[in-house]
Amino acid sequence: MGVKTLWITLAITAYSYLGTASALPVEDAVLTAPPHVPPAISRDHNARVVVHLETIEKIGTMADGVEYVYWSFGGTVPGSFIRVKEGDEIEFHLSNHPSSKMPHNIDLHAVTGPGGGAVSSFTAPGHTSTFAFQALNPGLYVYHCATAPVGMHIANGMYGLILVEPKDGLPKVDREYYVMQGDFYTKGKYGEAGLQPFDMEKAIEENADYVVFNGAVGSLTGENSLTAKVGETIRLYVGNGGPNLVSSFHVIGEIFDTVYIEGGDAKNHNIQTTLVPAGGSAIVDFKVQVPGNLIMVDHSIFRAFNKGALGMINVKGEEDKVVYSGKISDAIYQPEGSAIQTIEGEYQVAKAQSKEDKITFGKRIYNANCAACHQPNGQGIAQAFPPLAKSDYFNEDPTRGISAIVHGLEGPIKVNGESFNSVMPAMQLDDDELANVLTFILNSWDNKGGEITVEQVQKVRKQKAH
């Protein structure tokens, strides 16, 4: 059977199936879970693309020890990625799993028509709704549930992306990924363990406990990091489900060569940070030239380090010392005349007299220097920052903490049974500050107690980093 006859057969199938007058060949959509993206469309003609998507409510992990009842499209947050071509007809079958407690529907921003499909797709648990639309405009579009209370359905994770490729496709790249931000509102505050219910009051106040990529803290860090090789071109399909917050999307250590602004046709070049509105998107392309971890953040930066909006792209390959040298040297800096301006006494920090003093001073140092990564309660962040609370690694030999601060720490370690393979930068603290902060940690969060002395610190300072 030739390709033409096949199309005709398929077209007849479609005709009889939905009773529409479409003459297009029919194909099933390839759907992918984040961070993956279906392959680029290779056909040069339009098709009737059949999408089967299921809404399902299920418990998932928001952060280490924190669970949440997600409402999802396709079982993931964000929902399955859909890819079609400008001019395609999309035959959409939305099924609501029988175990669902709520009815759901779908509003696709790629639809030209009332409600973006919402009314036609309103589906009770255990039912399937079918509707069809033509993708008239190319671009990267958000879809979301629009069942009342709309904000709650979105806040529980009911959003995803549909890409309508322009007629001539998008320029080829080596790797494509799907990254979507969302904000979450829980009864307990960030990191509070247990199954956390949705908090409507906080949602109305737009006071998010979690701001995350791909539905959870750590979904794109550690072993879940995106990967690439030096020399490759990368395209991120970036979406923002909201419900409330606008994203200042930024990749630390990269510059976007091209941004398709708001997911449309207009291209901007050489961009550091791009705005992704709630219910909007952006496509960003960049080439990676040097190895290392690129860090994706919402540059509303407390969200990145304190609410979870942090992901990584692990780039492997050869160094290019011209593009980036790494640290070349660390020399003493003494501005001319600085000796004369030194003021004794007045500016000197009070020295700790007792262990209690050390703990009090150490806490301040901790909050100013360590809490951003290890978290205010020492719990760390799964797959990114190890815990200092009850850390077997630290309690076994507290001088490891001295070394981590003085020399930095990188490479694989195991803390309380969980593997970490990341980088802690060396920190500029003096001997007293260091003894204080580690004494504070030793005497906090169920750690084993005891004291770190200035002498111990000085000894480790003399040793080289291992």
Residue 268 or 463 having the CB closest to ligand HEC: 463
**Could you tell me the smallest distance in angstroms from the CB atom of residue 37 to Cu ion?**
24
The interface region with ligand HEC, picked from 202-210, 335-343, 366-374, 448-456 by CB under 6 A, is 366-374
- What is the C-alpha to C-alpha distance for residues 135 and 146, in angstroms, rounded to an integer? 20
**Could you tell me the smallest distance in angstroms from the CB atom of residue 96 to Cu ion?**
9
Q: How far is CA 424 from CA 227, 303, 366, 385, 458, in A?
A: 20, 20, 15, 9, 20
155 part of the interface to Cu ion, by CB under 5 A: no
One residue of 27, 192, 257, 410 binding ligand HEC per CB under 6 A: 410
Q: Which two tokens stand for residue 116?
A: 């973006």
The interface region with ligand HEC, picked from 21-29, 218-226, 246-254, 381-389 by CB under 6 A, is 381-389
40 binds, among ligand HEC, Cu ion, none (CB under 5 to 8 A by kind): none
Of 151, 167, 246, give the one whose Cα is nearest residue 202. Answer: 151
**Could you tell me the smallest distance in angstroms from the CB atom of residue 158 to Cu ion?**
5
The residues that bridge with 24 in the sheet, in sequence order, are none
Q: Which helix (H) or strand (E) holds 437?
A: helix 431-442
User: With contact defined as beta carbons under 8 Å apart, do 63 and 382 qualify?
Assistant: yes
Which residues inside 427-466 make contact with ligand HEC, applying CB under 6 A?
427, 437, 441
One residue of 83, 144, 153, 250 binding Cu ion per CB under 5 A: 153
218 part of the interface to ligand HEC, by CB under 6 A: no
- What is the C-alpha to C-alpha distance for residues 426 and 281, in angstroms, rounded to an integer? 37
Please identify the residue of the shown chain whose CB is closest to the bound Cu ion: 145
Within a 10 A sphere around the Cβ of 446, how many other Cβ atoms? Answer: 10
User: With contact defined as beta carbons under 8 Å apart, do 27 and 88 qualify?
Assistant: no
- What is the C-alpha to C-alpha distance for residues 93 and 377, in angstroms, rounded to an integer? 46
145 part of the interface to Cu ion, by CB under 5 A: yes
One residue of 415, 444, 454, 458 binding ligand HEC per CB under 6 A: 415
One residue of 95, 123, 147, 443 binding Cu ion per CB under 5 A: 147
First to last CA, the chain: 67
The residues that bridge with 212 in the sheet, in sequence order, are 182
- What is the C-alpha to C-alpha distance for residues 144 and 378, in angstroms, rounded to an integer? 36
411 part of the interface to ligand HEC, by CB under 6 A: yes
Residue 137 or 421 having the CB closest to ligand HEC: 421
User: With contact defined as beta carbons under 8 Å apart, do 51 and 93 qualify?
Assistant: yes
Residues that bind ligand HEC (CB under 6 A): 369-370, 372-374, 385-388, 391, 393-394, 400-401, 404-405, 409-411, 413, 415, 420-425, 427, 437, 441
Residues that bind Cu ion (CB under 5 A): 104, 145, 147, 153, 158
